[in-house]
Every structure is written in structure tokens, then in C-alpha cells.
Copies of this chain bind each other. A is one copy, B any other.
Amino acid sequence: MPSNVSQRQNNKLESDESVRTARTGIRGRPRADALTSDRRSQILKVSARLFAEYGFENTSVRQIADEVNLLAGSLYHHFATKEDILHEILQEPLRRIVEDNIAITKLQVDAEHKLIINTITRFRRHVYDGHFDSIILNDGNFFRRRADFAYVQKAKQRVFDLLETILKDGMVAGLFHPGIDTYLMIGTIARILASAAAWFRSGDIYTSDKPASYSFDRVLDFHLDCILRMIRTPSRLNEPIPREACERLALLV
């Protein structure tokens, strides 16, 4: 899954032509099979990728238009402003976060299982909603400055609230060591998962003697291990991590 998306092809002429002929070929007859009203979702998909790579403010509407073979002006038939595109990109991933949290809260398992399931789920989302995740990470300053994007912070808050509940429950149940500063630990766990997923997506290789292509599962296991070491009460450190059981439950989330 790790990939390097670097080549910013300057395919203006080439693609302009190819598509123009394609379009003329079906003039007046909107195909239902392919991407008809899909212009809209096509724009969303391309924008998400560009925003993730260059940042929202550093992506121009011309760049977006180029990649969907439109002229800049034509974008404004589909969206009122560039910011509206961003709003719509954020909508679904944010909804998923809320749904995940509700589902995990309802589970009838102990705090450690919930922690593991939450970790699996969050890490999966971070990795597979990669564009969303990059945007949230890279344009964090932008979202903080702009009041009309405050709902982004609200979703983040929900994630923190769930983690807080889990940590406190686990401490009461004696599963986690009693000295945990939940406030600091919540932030630390969240940042570990987000930044690890960003690394995993980018496929960044920093050390020479490990060309290393790590699988999703291996990276996930590593971080589960780290998090449980930070949190478990020492006497429980050698207990196995109920990975499979939690994995099954995580799929239902």
C-alpha cells in the first residue's frame, strides 16, 4: 500500500485531446454506465488527492481542473467555491469517525478489548482514508484559523472522549496501570496512530540498511504492542494480545 506519488505529469495537451474526442464521440448521449454526473465525484476524488499532497491552500483550481480535463471556470458549475469542495471531501470521513465511536461504545467487552478495537479501527481509517488524513494533518493550522471548519475539531474531540472513557474504565478495572495521566495519554496515542499511518502511507524509508516493505498487519501489531506496553499494568505485560478476537469485532464496527 505504501506508494510514492511524486510525478506531477504535465499532460495538458495530451489528455485534453484524448478526452475531447472521447466526449465528442458520445455527444448528447449521457452514458449511464460510466461517469456521467460523476464529474462531480471525479472532481472530489482528484481534489482530495491534490489537497492531500500539496495542501489545500497550495492547490489551485486550475490544477484541479487540469486533472479532470476541464477549464478552471467550469469547476464553478459544480461547486460554488474551492472551499466547498473541501467541505464535501471532509464530510464522509468525519461521519465514519462518529459512527465508529458509537459502535465501539456499544460493545460489551472490557476496556482493553475496546482499546485494541479502537486502535485497529482508527489505524485502519487513518491509512485507508489517507487523503482525508493528510489533509487533516497538513492543513491543521488552516482548520484552526477558520471558524467555518470548526466541525473538524469537534470530531477530533469525540475521538478523545472515547479514549478517555476507555482509559479510565481500564484503570478502574485494574487492567491498566493506575498512574496514567489520561489527558496526556489520549493525545499521545492519537498522535502515534496518526503519524504512524502517515509514515506508512508515504512509504518513507529513512535508514539505509532496511529497505523494508512492512505490511499493514505488521505495522499495526507493532503499534498495538507499543500502546499496550505503555498502558498495561506491569503484571499483565506478558499476557498475549487478543488480536484475532478484537480483529473480528473491529470488522463489525
Task: Give the dominant DSSP class at A's interface.
Answer: helix
How many residues on the A side are at the interface (Cβ–Cβ under 8 A)?
43
Q: Verify A157–B55 contact, CB threshold 8 A.
A: no
* Set of chain B residues within 8 Å of A153, measured between Cβ atoms: 206
* Set of chain B residues within 8 Å of A207, measured between Cβ atoms: 157, 160-161, 164, 183, 186
A229-253 interface bits toward B, Cβ cutoff 8 Å, 1 = contact, 0 = none = 1100010011000000000000000
Q: Verify A184–B145 contact, CB threshold 8 A.
A: no
Closest chain-B Cβ to A103's Cβ sits at a distance in Å of: 22
Contacts A191-B192, A229-B229, A230-B226 hold; do A212 and B183 have CB atoms under 8 A apart?
Answer: yes
Q: Verify A6–B206 contact, CB threshold 8 A.
A: no
- Closest B residue to A157 using CB positions: B206
**Is A196 located at the chain interface by the 8 A CB criterion?**
yes
- Closest B residue to A219 using CB positions: B184
* Set of chain B residues within 8 Å of A63, measured between Cβ atoms: none
Contacts A186-B207, A238-B234 hold; do A145 and B6 have CB atoms under 8 A apart?
Answer: yes
Q: Verify A55–B234 contact, CB threshold 8 A.
A: no
Closest chain-B Cβ to A233's Cβ sits at a distance in Å of: 11
**Is A53 located at the chain interface by the 8 A CB criterion?**
yes
* Set of chain B residues within 8 Å of A230, measured between Cβ atoms: 226, 229-230
Instruction: Report how far A153 CA is from B206 CA in the complex, Å.
Output: 8
Instruction: Report how far A212 CA is from B160 CA in the complex, Å.
Output: 15
- Extra pairs beyond A157-B206, A188-B226, A234-B234 (14, CB < 8 Å): A54-B141, A55-B58, A57-B57, A138-B138, A138-B141, A161-B207, A181-B222, A183-B207, A183-B210, A184-B219, A188-B222, A229-B229, A230-B230, A234-B237
Task: Give me 9 A-to-B residue pairs in the complex whose CB atoms sit less than 8 angstroms apart, sorted by A's number.
Answer: A53-B141, A186-B206, A187-B199, A188-B196, A188-B223, A191-B191, A229-B229, A234-B234, A237-B237
| A→B interface (CB under 8 Å) | 6, 53-55, 57-58, 138, 141, 144-145, 153, 156-157, 160-161, 164, 181, 183-188, 191-192, 194-196, 199, 206-207, 210, 212, 214, 219, 222-223, 226, 229-230, 234, 237-238
